[in-house]
């Protein structure tokens, strides 16, 4: 995977005003989710610059992407978003014909992106923790949902209708994609009991940069790879660590897509082909400490990285994981109502 209002009315206006600059592509992406060195090499090669617009929740991204006046050329979507927006014609279909780099990606990865984007990075949802405060790595979602008394007002959750429900649903032994009303109510009870310990429901990469909150976050719900971003933000290597609980978790895939109504569609496809090339994909993965789905790029990575369990989890962990499926409208609405209610219990 992320703050609501990241793209303000002012920024939206700015995007509209700058849309006519054909040599700039607007990229809607998570913060610190692409290596600037790789982007710079593209600009040096082509003369085309990349303007990044950051979001910090899937809901915020979807709201921007659904606005036909947003002037977005490229976007990072999860596999559910790839299927949904591909079906609606919001993002451009891709194939070997218009995106040759796809030949380096296994069919199972391409299928998960629904032929609506380039498989970009994959990973898990887990527990991020400050190793100077929490010396014993968390091993269960119980460590997050029923935190120790010392962690009261030191927990950061994440108000996304998918990711927030991963810990309580897995503790209940349920599917993370459930739309069963009774199960969601039981998940709500767990989240309500946890609420007094929660400092913030903002995505941790955003909230760690808030002077009023950042120093007080000791435990957080987040994505594999976020620990490296957090360490860069606080300037302390190895301070933040990442753990996948024994109950399993969500195994996610992000897809890099071209927006169908982009006036610079061909340039956007060229950029996507560049990012998906073995050399660029490997450099990007190495810089961000993230696992690449490119078979050719994987061969270019050092063995030390390929054997790192925080980047490439062992098979016994992956075997317990669930994939995200498209949720029903009713399930999404119920989950959002729960999220909106939780602030009353903090």
Q: Are residues 193 and 328 in the same domain?
A: yes
CATH number of the CATH domain containing 98: 3.40.190.10
**Is 33 domain-assigned?**
yes
pLDDT tens digits, residue range 230-250? 999 999 999 999 999 999 999
What's the domain range around 240?
A: 123-250+320-345
Q: Are residues 128 and 98 in the same domain?
A: no
Residue in 219, 188, 225, 231 with CA at minimum distance from that of residue 308: 225
The beta-strand segments (E) located in 40-161 are 49-55, 74-78, 118-130, 155-156
Q: Are residues 17 and 146 in the same domain?
A: no
Question: How far apart (Å, rounded) are the C-alpha atoms in residues 2 and 55?
Answer: 5
| Count of domains observed in the chain | 2
Would you state the structure tokens that stand for residue 205, as one six-digit string?
Answer: 């990469």
Taking 70 as the threshold, does the pLDDT of residue 14 lie above it? no
Q: Are residues 45 and 154 in the same domain?
A: no
In three-state secondary structure terms, 237 is coil
Question: How far apart (Å, rounded) are the C-alpha atoms in residues 199 and 213?
Answer: 8
pLDDT tens digits, residue range 31-75? 999 999 999 999 999 999 999 999 988 888 999 998 888 899 999
pLDDT tens digits, residue range 86-129? 999 999 999 999 999 999 999 999 999 999 999 999 999 999 99
Give first-to-last CA distance, the chain, whole Å.
25
Give pTM, 2 decimals. 0.84
pLDDT at 21: 45
Average pLDDT, the chain: 92
**Is 272 domain-assigned?**
yes
**Is 127 domain-assigned?**
yes
For 256-298, give the DSSP string.
EEEBTT-TTHHHHHHHHHHHTSHHHHHHHHHHHT----BHHHH
CB 54 within 8 A of CB 29: yes
């Amino acid at each position: 995977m992320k703050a609501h209002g990241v793209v303000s009315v002012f920024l939206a206006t700015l995007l509209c005003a700058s849309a006519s600059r054909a040599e700039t592509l607007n990229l809607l992406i998570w913060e610190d989710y692409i290596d600037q060195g790789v982007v710079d090499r593209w600009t040096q090669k082509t003369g085309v610059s990349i303007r990044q617009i950051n979001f910090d929740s899937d809901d915020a991204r979807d709201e921007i992407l659904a606005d036909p006046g947003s002037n977005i050329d490229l976007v990072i979507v999860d596999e559910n978003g790839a299927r949904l927006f591909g079906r609606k014609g919001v993002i451009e279909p891709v194939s070997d014909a218009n995106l040759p780099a796809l030949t380096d990606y296994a069919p199972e990865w391409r299928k998960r992106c629904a032929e609506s984007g380039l498989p970009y990075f994959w990973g898990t949802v887990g527990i991020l923790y400050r190793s100077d405060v929490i010396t014993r790595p968390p091993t269960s979602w119980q460590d997050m949902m029923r935190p120790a008394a010392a962690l009261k007002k030191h927990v950061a959750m994440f108000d996304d209708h998918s990711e927030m429900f991963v810990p309580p649903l897995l503790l209940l032994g349920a599917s993370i994609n459930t739309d069963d009303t009774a199960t969601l109510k039981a998940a709500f009870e767990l989240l309500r009991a946890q609420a007094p310990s929660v400092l913030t429901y903002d995505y941790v990469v955003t909230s760690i940069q808030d002077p009023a909150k950042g120093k007080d976050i000791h435990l957080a719900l987040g994505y594999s790879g976020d620990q490296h971003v957090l360490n860069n933000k606080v300037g302390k290597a190895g301070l933040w660590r990442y753990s996948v609980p024994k109950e399993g978790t969500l195994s996610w895939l992000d897809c890099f897509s071209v927006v169908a109504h982009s006036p610079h569609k061909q340039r956007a496809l060229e950029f996507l082909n560049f990012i998906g090339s073995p050399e660029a994909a490997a450099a990007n993965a190495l810089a961000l400490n993230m696992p690449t789905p490119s078979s050719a790029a994987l061969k270019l990575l050092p063995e030390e990285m390929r054997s790192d369990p925080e980047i490439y989890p062992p098979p016994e962990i992956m075997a317990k994981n669930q994939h995200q499926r498209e949720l029903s409208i009713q399930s999404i609405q119920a989950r959002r109502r729960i999220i909106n209610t939780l602030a009353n219990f903090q």
